[in-house]
Chains A and B, each alone.
Chain A
Amino acid sequence: MDAEMLASALRMSTPVLLAALAGLWSERSGVVNIGLEGMMIIGSFWGAYGSYAYGPFWGLLFGMVAGLLLAAIHAVATVKYKVDHVVSGVALNILALGLTRFLCIKIFNQATASEHTRAFATLNIPLLDHIGFLKPLVTKVSPVIILALVLVPLSSLVLNRTVFGLRLRSVGENPLAADTLGVNVFLMKYAGVLISGALAGLAGMFLSVEHTGMYVEGMTQGKGYIGLAAMIFGNWNPAGALGASLLFGFAEAISIRAVSSVIPYQFIKMIPYALTLAVLAGVVRRAVTPAADGVAYERGGE
């Protein structure tokens, strides 16, 4: 194992980390967001388009806003109309798939891929980039990776230390109690879901613009779901989500590098997914879900 490998693992884990943070923001407010995958798809497409047409910064903005808009549908459906969270999320995933294909044909004249896009200029981490063996890890780093890493302590801070975070968490634990204390339950849930959408959009944008250099249909490869798994594995905490994402990123980095003439290629590609299953099976019983996760809130009743 070398720094090259670690760098690859970090790149692989970034979309999972962003998806996990996205899931966490939504679920901490009590809304299950299985539509993450769809929000990532939309984000990857619009990120690619924004970057292709106006440059990477606009790509980032387009990706996040696209994710946020899709999340807005989820929020209205689940919070206002009390649609089952999973049903709404799955519907959005299907919608996102169809919509991007449609838009891709309209905009790029081909169904499954965009033109090449422009990525952000990469950064070298000052000081560290002189240490020889760390070089692959700290040079030519995508700024979005750094942003994702910064979002971990930032999310922790906002959730645990601020008024906004306390209220958001209270709504995910016991909305009735929060309501009786004058917390605006619906507002908090909307906030959680919208932040979630923006982060999922960012995750998608990272995949297309930063990682691949273009949008390709199916490029999310279920990373939204893996993000949810990482969120659970990380016990709905940002730091935990980071640890879990790194694990998945690492598994993926291995699966890319591992070449074997004995084991068929497809089996090696399965490693991260199999790991997800194994980890979830072992961990879920220990996990502490927000108490009112996935439950519609209505006033009244004892």
Chain B
Amino acid sequence: MISIKGVTKRFPGVLANDHISLEVREGEIHAIVGENGAGKSTLMKILYGLYQPDEGSIELRGHPVRIDGPARAVALGIGMVHQHFMLIPRFTVLENIILGHETARFGVIDRRASEQRVKELAGQYGFAIDPKAMVATLSVGQQQRVEILKVLYRGADLLILDEPTAVLAPQEVTELFANLRLLAAGGKTIIFIGHKLDEVMEIADRVTVLRRGQVVGTMAAGETSREGLAEMMVGRPVLFRIQKNPCHPGAPLLSLDDVTVAGVGGTARGHGRGHGVGGSQGPAWRTRIARAAVDGLSLQVNGGEIYGIAGVEGNGQTELVEGIFNLQPVTSGRVMVLGKDVTNRPTAQIRAGGIAYIPEDRHRRGLVLPMSIWENLILGSHRRREFVRRALLDRDRILGHATKLREQYDIRLADMDAPVLALSGGNQQKVIVARELAQSPQVVIASQPTRGLDVGAAEFVRQRLLEMRDAGRAVLLISADLEEVLSLSDRVGVMFRGKIVAEFPAEEATPQLLGPYMLGGAAPAEMEIPLADARGEGGEARV
């Protein structure tokens, strides 16, 4: 179907793709795996015409092609779902899908015909979606479906999906895979990039491993194992089972006492600005006050312990974490850190009290993308004595500190002065983790800490969290990855609709036991089950 021949791409100081040759067969699901910064996204952007290769050529069905821009890629039947979604939150599903490819008469969009086509297409591949809904109101899984429909609408027969599962809940992954199999059965060719090797083994026909811009090998998924792939990627064996010392819980370092966060304003979600357009969104406004995002939640995390919160995303996890740091106001209840009441104190003051924060959304909360890497590495601790000399930042000292972190966390970068947005997704995440853990906090709040990290880096971050725990610190871990929660935590709480509905010691917790609680099925009887859309804007339940 498509063959890539000796493609090389250089960025200033980085060889992102180094003579990559690769063949993808018609109708197969071809996975590409590799460490953070291995060059996967770069290669895909070349296929989609967003970057031009410095060397090498691409052949499509035996004919050499020059893909000089996305428009050309679309014309050739290549479609891409990007690692970071490319949707316009304030447009409807329909507008997002037809943009650039509209059916029109005399320049006026033929809405009825377009809607008909989108509905047909969605029906054909089993996507349930309302074309008139505004994208800002959709769950992440639904947004991804819009992205895939966009690609199909353009008649693509080669679909590129860059880390499509990173942002999905387990059920959504299952749905996505069902969709992908249907597409492949229908003759579409799919390139799939992923870090979760189990998923890769499940969905792919063949797998190609990249390392530092080069192809290490391509093999059938059946011929390899998770461990084998991981070793090829990283160049050394990777531990999947984590070694855990026995837990010695100390005094409570973080206690949340009947905390309620209304979640009004939707700062938690990516599209806060998109809401309320047109002013006719009465229902959305009403559901906002229907129930608080975090609803009288209490929990305690002791020193020397990892408390894991399991739960389907959108059940108040984001609001809980942002409430602790006063990024959203706590409407009632108390937040105590190291025995001190810090409820609704200024964020800088809360952080100075010895609590670190790894946010789930690295672009909106974790980094200042246009700022340099070294600046991002000291954000929040820039006031510290050691970094300041005569009221100015002491660049030499900071660079020394940054270089140390870079080595310790293996952040792959060419230049400390480069903006952090030039890093690959996984390396951006490492910058945040390095910065937060470097302050030797007493309490760590880690929200999706390994999202987008390759197996090696994820293992590394998990080890750091365990070290924190062994050193007597308290760790609150929130992760959509149930396996991660279960393997790291000493106690597990299940969060559903703003409450901890069940709590288990780690030894007892299994996916089978937690599953029903996560879906609310085993919820206590007094819980009312509101309308499906009553989640409001703070989060979307996917139950």
Contacts and interface: CB of A to CB of B under 8 A. Distances in A.
A177 B88 contact: yes
A297 to B, nearest CB: 13
Interface string B78-103: 00101110111111000100111110
B414 interface: no
Interface string A158-176: 0001111011011001101
Contact of B109 (A166, A181, A299): A166
Contact of A299 (B50, B71, B99): B50
A161 B107 CA distance: 9
Contact of B107 (A164, A299, A302): A164
Given A173-B91, A177-B87, A163 B70 contact: no
A181 B100 contact: yes
Contact of B100 (A164, A167, A299): A167
Nearest to A183: B100
A131 B71 CA distance: 58
A179 interface: yes
Contacts of B87: 174, 177
A177 B107 contact: no
A155 to B, nearest CB: 14
Contact of B70 (A169, A170, A179, A302): A179
B41 A302 contact: yes
B113 to A, nearest CB: 13
Nearest to B424: A302
Interface string A281-293: 0000000110100
Contact of B91 (A163, A170, A289, A299): A170
Residue picked from A162, A166, A183, A299, most chain B C-beta under 10 Å: A166
Nearest to A165: B109
B416 interface: no
Interface string B100-122: 11101001110000000000000
Contacts of B108: 161-163
Given A162-B109, A182-B71, A302 B102 contact: no
Interface bin, chain A? 20 to 34
A116 to B, nearest CB: 42
Interface string B142-170: 00000000100000000000000000000
Contacts of B197: none
B277 interface: yes
B277 A181 contact: no
Contacts of A174: 86-88
A167 B98 CA distance: 10
A291 B273 contact: yes
Contacts of A166: 95, 98-99, 102, 109
B276 A288 contact: yes
B460 interface: no
A298 B74 CA distance: 20
A218 interface: no
Interface string A4-38: 00000000000000000000000000000000000
Contacts of A178: 88, 99-100
Interface in B44-88: 48, 50-51, 69-71, 74, 80, 82-84, 86-88
B422 interface: yes
A260 interface: no
Contact of B74 (A170, A182, A288, A299): A182
Contacts of B422: 301
B421 A161 contact: no
B425 interface: yes
Contacts of A183: 99-100
A300 interface: yes
Given A163-B109, A288-B273, A302-B84, A180 B51 contact: no
Interface in B257-311: 273-274, 276-277
Contacts of B86: 174, 176-177, 180-181
A1 to B, nearest CB: 28
Contacts of A170: 88, 91, 95, 99
In the complex, which of the residues A176, A299, A301, A302 has the most CB atoms of chain B within 10 Å of its own CB atom? A302
B421 A302 contact: yes
A300 B50 contact: yes
B48 to A, nearest CB: 7
A167 B41 contact: no
Contacts of B421: 301-302
Given A166-B95, A291-B273, A301-B422, A182 B100 contact: yes
A180 B82 contact: yes
Contacts of B99: 166-167, 170, 177-178, 181, 183
Contacts of B109: 161-163, 166
A180 B273 contact: no
B104 A288 contact: no
Contacts of B70: 179-182
Contacts of A176: 86
B144 to A, nearest CB: 14
Interface of A: 161-164, 166-167, 169-170, 173-174, 176-183, 288-289, 291, 299-302
Given A166-B98, A177-B87, A182-B70, 19 more contacts: A161-B109, A163-B108, A164-B107, A166-B102, A169-B91, A177-B86, A177-B88, A178-B88, A180-B50, A180-B70, A180-B86, A182-B101, A288-B276, A288-B277, A289-B273, A291-B90, A299-B50, A300-B51, A302-B84
14 contacts: A161-B109, A163-B109, A166-B109, A167-B99, A170-B99, A177-B87, A178-B99, A180-B82, A181-B101, A182-B70, A288-B273, A301-B421, A301-B422, A302-B41
